[in-house]
A and B are shown apart, each in its own frame.
Chain A
């Protein structure tokens, strides 16, 4: 998939520019029988055959470059493409089904739908995507959870041309069959109600108490400081997992050279299972947003997931 030239260039870089360190090999933390290597060969034969990168000959060169990066070295699909019964990515490139990059949930984070459809990236311009990958935030949202690591350790260092190419490719991914290619907000009646002191909508009083100091009564936050909730596609995503988890555990924006400060959000795990769903349903359906409701069972399930989260190998922590 990755071109020979790029593989050679990376090999040369690793062998000449990366300083060696003295470090003992670490024992595997993967439990038996998953730590056996030979079944992987079978898995690989079934789901991950070597392949050449190819795009249609008439593809715009920038989109072709973006396709190459997204399918290959950026491997966006590892998180953003749904996985099958054997944990294989259901698609490794775009096709008729539209399953590629249509969103998936891992460790309680919803890696959002990246296709150019209503609850995907329809509300994001190409520049919004580039700014997000370069700086970890844009005027409407900010990276949190696992995506914060991706921006901080990887995409912020990419060239503007490559980021623009990736964004162009993502914006070329058509809506899945039966899905709207656009997202139409409802009329915003929330801003006026909250500014007039009408807190009668279920969850409104909790919102004003716990969220409004930063995200504001108009749901707009502060640009590149506090993410907006109005028109933020993580807020009205089909799967509310990320919204639930970031509410319970909080989040931290990636540190990038573009900004002087990275802001954090505190966790609200101290709010009860009957209060969080009401609050999140309010946020998902206010300021013109529209999305499914969140149930107490969803919040309880997320608490269980958070309590049993695996601890990942973190090189900086052990060196």
Chain B
């Protein structure tokens, strides 16, 4: 072989080799994909990390034995107003506050919810279980009515939250931030508020806060101000304003607790004026009182609203939501039961 052909063969060989190397590099280059999902620490009672948690994708639900129930729960949380019209009074959905299906930090995630309850809650001043907590949202946040605890809907919502927990054990907690308490020292400024509302909120929620509907009449953006509509209450209500230091309040309380526990004609709600949850809890415990509906009204707004001259005061509210009669000062068992009978029968008392 001549030197020339050797050289040519060498060049050709080098070309083939480099082409092969190039092809190998090309075919072995990494395919860019999403980064692995963030792992969030799961902490035990002592604050030590015991495991890690990854927010699951909804498509993982399909692998669960009760996938249908979980997806039903997911839908109810996302489209509460449309799917549970009898239980929602203001167009809101659970996910209006619990953003992104309750999966993101700082937006009230559902991730620790199942493990968090039952727990003694400051507003109720008693132990609240998850059903009670969800119904609290239905009644207050969504201005509606509670769901039956055994209902398929309630169980489905809890099934979704339970799936979202991804097996984190009861005593542990996924270390996810949640918004803190509101800064109550803020001073309302209606002029600046109007300016900010027009610039930042009105485009979606409407110039008059009327919200925006879709083609089916369901809210895309919920209303912020609804015209007052008298609501039909589920049952007549008796509201008792009290404080733990007031002797007549303390005297009537055991009798009222007894009536409350033994009547189906009205709901008795005990609104404490100006005391903290701790004081309320301690009082109820030492007096050995079992009350279903205790509301702490730390700023005494109830009393101010009704302009009560002193405590206790008892209000009788009919099924149509209007105030029927008021009793100032200590009430007798007879006065209470008569008042309840009147609102239950729809009579207006002459006062």
Which A residues are within 8 Å of any B CB, using their own CB?
Answer: 195, 197, 199, 205-206, 208-209, 212-213, 216, 218, 220, 222, 225, 259-261, 269-273, 275, 300, 303-304, 307
Contacts of B12 in A (CB 8 A): none
Interface CB pairs A-B, < 8 A, 25: A195-B216, A197-B72, A199-B71, A205-B61, A209-B57, A209-B58, A209-B101, A212-B78, A216-B214, A218-B215, A222-B220, A222-B221, A225-B203, A225-B204, A260-B202, A261-B203, A271-B34, A272-B34, A273-B31, A273-B34, A300-B32, A300-B33, A303-B32, A303-B33, A307-B32
A146 CB to closest chain B CB (Å) equals 22
Contacts of A275 in B (CB 8 A): 57, 59
Contact of B32 among A208, A259, A260, A304 (CB under 8 A): A304
Contacts of B31 in A (CB 8 A): 273, 300
Q: Is B198 in the interface zone, CB < 8 Å from A? A: yes
How many Å lie between the Cα of A222 and that of B35 in the bound state? 31
Contacts of A307 in B (CB 8 A): 32
B185 CB to closest chain A CB (Å) equals 29
A268: nearest residue on chain B (CB-CB)?
B34
The proximity string for B residues 47-91 relative to A, scoring 1 for CB distances below 8 Å and 0 otherwise, is 000000000011101100000000110010010000000000000
Contact of A206 with B58 in the complex, beta carbons under 8 Å: yes
Contact of A218 with B214 in the complex, beta carbons under 8 Å: yes
How many Å lie between the Cα of A272 and that of B31 in the bound state? 12
Contacts of A220 in B (CB 8 A): 214-215
Contact of B58 among A208, A272, A304 (CB under 8 A): A208
Contact of B32 with A206 in the complex, beta carbons under 8 Å: no
Q: Is B37 in the interface zone, CB < 8 Å from A? A: yes
Contact of B71 with A197 in the complex, beta carbons under 8 Å: yes
Contact of A206 with B33 in the complex, beta carbons under 8 Å: no
A263: nearest residue on chain B (CB-CB)?
B203
- Knowing A269-B34, A272-B33, the reply to whether A222 touches B58 (Cβ < 8 A) is no
Main secondary structure of the interface of A (DSSP, over half): loop
Q: Is B105 in the interface zone, CB < 8 Å from A? A: no
Q: Is B212 in the interface zone, CB < 8 Å from A? A: yes
B58: nearest residue on chain A (CB-CB)?
A209
Contact of B59 with A206 in the complex, beta carbons under 8 Å: yes
Q: Is B186 in the interface zone, CB < 8 Å from A? A: no
Contacts of A216 in B (CB 8 A): 214, 220
Contacts of B220 in A (CB 8 A): 216, 222
Contacts of A270 in B (CB 8 A): 34-35, 37
Instruction: Beyond the given A300-B31, A300-B33, please list 11 additional residue pairs across the A-B interface where CB-CB is below 8 A.
Output: A197-B71, A197-B72, A205-B59, A208-B78, A213-B78, A216-B214, A218-B215, A222-B221, A261-B203, A270-B37, A273-B34
How many Å lie between the Cα of A209 and that of B100 in the bound state? 8
Per the 8 Å Cβ criterion, residues 118-139 of B in contact with A are: none
A229 CB to closest chain B CB (Å) equals 14
How many Å lie between the Cα of A304 and that of B30 in the bound state? 10
B326 CB to closest chain A CB (Å) equals 46
Contact of A261 with B101 in the complex, beta carbons under 8 Å: no
How many Å lie between the Cα of A195 and that of B61 in the bound state? 19
A17 CB to closest chain B CB (Å) equals 31
B328 CB to closest chain A CB (Å) equals 50
A224: nearest residue on chain B (CB-CB)?
B203
Contacts of A273 in B (CB 8 A): 31, 33-34
B198: nearest residue on chain A (CB-CB)?
A260
Q: Is B199 in the interface zone, CB < 8 Å from A? A: yes
Contact of A260 with B199 in the complex, beta carbons under 8 Å: yes
A63 CB to closest chain B CB (Å) equals 35
How many Å lie between the Cα of A260 and that of B33 in the bound state? 37
A217: nearest residue on chain B (CB-CB)?
B79
How many Å lie between the Cα of A9 and that of B212 in the bound state? 46
How many Å lie between the Cα of A195 and that of B217 in the bound state? 13
B29: nearest residue on chain A (CB-CB)?
A304
A296: nearest residue on chain B (CB-CB)?
B31
B72: nearest residue on chain A (CB-CB)?
A197
How many Å lie between the Cα of A303 and that of B214 in the bound state? 35
Per the 8 Å Cβ criterion, residues 224-253 of B in contact with A are: none
A226 CB to closest chain B CB (Å) equals 8
Contacts of B203 in A (CB 8 A): 225, 259-261
Contacts of B32 in A (CB 8 A): 300, 303-304, 307
B95: nearest residue on chain A (CB-CB)?
A213
Q: List the 9 closest A-B pairs by CB distance, nearest first.
A: A303-B32, A209-B58, A300-B31, A273-B33, A261-B203, A222-B220, A272-B34, A270-B34, A260-B203
B76: nearest residue on chain A (CB-CB)?
A197
How many Å lie between the Cα of A271 and that of B37 in the bound state? 9
Contacts of B221 in A (CB 8 A): 222
How many Å lie between the Cα of A206 and that of B71 in the bound state? 12
A212: nearest residue on chain B (CB-CB)?
B78
Contacts of B214 in A (CB 8 A): 216, 218, 220, 222
Contacts of A260 in B (CB 8 A): 198-199, 202-203
How many Å lie between the Cα of A269 and that of B95 in the bound state? 23
